[in-house]
Structure 1
Amino acid sequence: MKNSNTVKKRVLHPRNLHHGSYDFTQLCAVCPQLSPLVIHNPNGQPTIDFSDHQAVLILNQALLKCFYKIDFWKIPQGYLCPPIPGRADYIHYLADLLAQSGNGEVPTGKQVKVLDIGTGANCIYPIIGSQSYGWSFVATDIDPVSIKIADLIVKSNRNLTPFIKLLLQKNSNAIFDGIIKKQDKFSLTICNPPFHASMEQALAGNSRKVNNLSKGKKVANDGLNFGGQENELCCVGGEIAFLTQMCKESRSYGQQVYWFSSLVSKSENISPLKKLLAELGAKQVRVVNMAQGQKISRLLAWSFQQQSSLLSN
């Protein structure tokens, strides 16, 4: 098997359904609202204005309908609208992790139970994971509006309702505490943690992104092209503080969860987190590098077990 830690720039996971350029003819056929938003780049190829939040939202609707059979997917203005190919990569690399931990085959079906920390209004990881592998999800968030909208998405799509349960985290200072009950067992936990320490940092980062996407063209944009509420983008101390807390909390649930995992945006955070996990007694730690377009990211996974029966329960 090819080492999943070795990836080339702009290369998605082999099982990712979103390789290559978007087929806008196919996408517009399933989502006609996308048609008037399609433009052409300097090479004459069809695309959209990725600095336009509404265009990104409708592109996502088209992708979800075309590839995951999702007929209804709407999120409120200002909520995080995720880039789907990159989110799918996280799911597929976690599937490989489970395969490597088992008999070499990717486990499918509802017996694979996954906990999504901070699912947001978009509920994107449970959608992709349930429709790609048939996994069952408990999806949590501290924001009641996010839970309400995600629950509406699930209940509006019959192919989602058997697989996804929404749960409000009532303690905004906790991650797993209050969510994982004594009887719960999970094969995986997943998370896309808050990246910034403040909304000022988030807006500054978005301005740089918009300028890159617009190729230097002046863009009137006072918000975030991919959206995002403060709790989705920021926490006190930024990414490293959030993940430090996650690692510390995870030890208490080490026999109920086989693999804990999270995306890690800043490469410099990997080393201190690995050191912390060693101090906490983690028996397995994996870092998987991923690349989508110009973006390089990585997932960190850890387990307090050498092997587990959770994959076959």
Structure 2
Amino acid sequence: MHPKNIHNSPYDFEALVKASPALLPYVHKNKYANLTIDFSVNEAVIALNNALLVLHYRVDNWKIPANYLCPPIPGRADYIHYISDLLDVDNCKGNIVGLDIGVGANCIYPILGAQIYDWTMVGADIDIAAVEAALINVSLTSALAQKIEIRQQNNNAHIFKGIIKEGEYYNFTMCNPPFHSSKEEAEKGTLRKLNNLSGTKKLSLNFGGQANELWCNGGESLFIKRMIKDSVGFKDQVGWFTTLVSNKEHLSKIYKLLQKLNAQHTTVLMGQGNKQSRFLAWNFRP
């Protein structure tokens, strides 16, 4: 993980339970006598997220509707820290403004950006229920209400158009794109994840995920290509466009598109335990 990520150390479950007693029923000792939770249980993961937000990020009453994506906060914080590094290279000063495409009901990236770095954040989503839930999560903490704005994308043919307004400037955009190409593919991925965590063979979308969160026609690769093409029209209003890329096999074709559009780009590697992730960043500077 990023050196600045406070989640580099194991979870302090005693401190977490003290901060949020609702986590206590899900905490138990594993075979090594360490405190933990069952990460295949949705309610336990949500309770853990709540506790992390209370203890480390001064956010109370965070909630998500049933079956919406429940993100692992340590990995989400990593993306935020590495974007900060990218901005430092550009020597960005003053008020930093970021845009999260596909903010989701959890609103986690704007929350972390606002609470870790005091950034001003805009979160956008096409799902009205997600937008409403994100608005509630923002409104319940006064500090967030002053730093975060939630907007709905009304046209699924657009990504930035209709969200970035005339005269606005964003130091960066970020995105966790849908990475499956169909509901069936998403369900298979969820089953594999649950089986790895608990050995269960029973399908349960415990990690949540609506259609726009987990899958889209063409999957991750096509979505990112659409985003890149759409970004050309906003090249003077954004310092860095960024997106997570789950499948590294997609990168070669994405690079070809960026080259065709005369965009400069960099790929930032992030590691969480044995898992390696990455995000792609690009712009159209001369």
TM over 0.5: yes
**Distance in 1 (alpha carbons) for counterparts of 2:224 and 2:138:** 28
Q: Counterpart of 2:122?
A: 138
Moved over 3 A (4+): none
- Answering whether residue 227 of structure 2 is matched by residue 246 of structure 1, we say yes
**Distance in 1 (alpha carbons) for counterparts of 2:111 and 2:183:** 28
Q: Counterpart of 1:178?
A: 162
Q: Counterpart of 1:233?
A: 214
What code does the residue aligned with 1:207 have? L
Q: Counterpart of 1:161?
A: 145
> Which among 268, 274, 280 is matched to residue 294 of structure 1?
274
Q: Counterpart of 2:193?
A: 209
RCO higher in structure (CA 8 A, sep ≥6): 1
What runs of 5+ residues in structure 2 fail to find an aligned partner? Answer: none
What is the RMSD of the two structures over their aligned residues, measured on CA atoms?
1.2
Q: Contact 1:50–1:225 (CA<8 Å) still a contact in 2?
A: no
- Answering whether residue 285 of structure 2 is matched by residue 305 of structure 1, we say yes
CA positional deviation for 1:246: 0.4
CA positional deviation for 1:82: 0.2
CA positional deviation for 1:281: 1.4
Secondary structure of the structure 2 residue equivalent to 1:160: helix
CA positional deviation for 1:226: 1.5
What runs of 5+ residues in structure 1 fail to find an aligned partner? Answer: 1-11, 307-313
**Distance in 2 (alpha carbons) for counterparts of 1:225 and 1:18:** 23
- Answering whether residue 53 of structure 2 is matched by residue 64 of structure 1, we say yes
Identity among equivalent pairs (%): 50
Q: Counterpart of 1:8?
A: none
- Measured against aligned partners, the alpha-carbon deviations of 1:72-96 in whole angstroms (never above 9, x if no partner) come to 1011110000000000000000000
- Answering whether residue 282 of structure 2 is matched by residue 265 of structure 1, we say no
- Answering whether residue 99 of structure 2 is matched by residue 98 of structure 1, we say no
The answer to which structure has the higher helix fraction is 2
CA positional deviation for 1:138: 1.1
Q: How many residues align?
A: 286
Secondary structure of the structure 2 residue equivalent to 1:187: strand
What code does the residue aligned with 2:212 have? N
CA positional deviation for 1:278: 1.2
- Measured against aligned partners, the alpha-carbon deviations of 1:282-301 in whole angstroms (never above 9, x if no partner) come to 1x211011111332210000
CA positional deviation for 1:225: 2.4
Q: Counterpart of 1:4?
A: none
Q: Contact 2:67–2:206 (CA<8 Å) still a contact in 1?
A: no
Q: Counterpart of 2:22?
A: 33
How is 1:66-85 mapped onto 2 (pairs within 5 angstroms)?
66-85=55-74
Structure 1-normalised TM-score? 0.89
CA positional deviation for 1:42: 1.6
